Amino acid sequence: MAAPEGWAPLDFGGKFDHLDTHFMAHVGPVYMRGGDGARQLGFKVMPYMCNPAGICHGGMLMSVMDVGLAFVLHNEMGRHVFTPSVSFNFDFVAPGQLGDFLICEGDCTRLTKSTGFVTGRLVGKDGPVITGSGIMKITDIVLDTESGKSA
């Protein structure tokens, strides 16, 4: 699938070059838009992302929210570091329909030296599909904002 207008394929800039592939490459394609301070994730619900009921699998929704809210945290911090999830809570509010393009929106609700608190949602044409809040560890592993590689 070609990237929608204004979106580019999610690219970690070589961060996973030591692997044959990585998790997000298996579940995608996932797309990003915006520059530093405004990056956002989105994806089109494809048949292989669906559960037996024909709607987007909850694991796919949670995976994109996890990475999308890390972007929200990076936007708030003004820098890109490795921010593994410590805890997440999700609420499924509506089905993600086959063919829908879902976009991750969110906010950083609190930021300390070592922890970021985020909240957000994946939104489609009919409104929110999933909402969630999470806690992420802020590490010292700095990512180069241009290439995504460790600095």
Which stretches of the chain score pLDDT less than 70? 1-3, 11-26, 36-37, 142-151
pTM above 0.75, yes or no: yes
Query: Residue 146: its pLDDT value, please?
Result: 46
H runs (alpha helix) in 46-129:
58-77
What CA–CA distance (Å, rounded) separates 55 from 94? Answer: 10
What CA–CA distance (Å, rounded) separates 107 from 96? Answer: 21
Contact 47, 98 (CB under 8 A): yes
Query: Residue 18: its pLDDT value, please?
Result: 47
Closest CA to 110 of 138, 91, 82: 138
What residue ranges define each of the domains in the chain, with the CATH number in brackets? Answer: 8-137 (3.10.129.10)
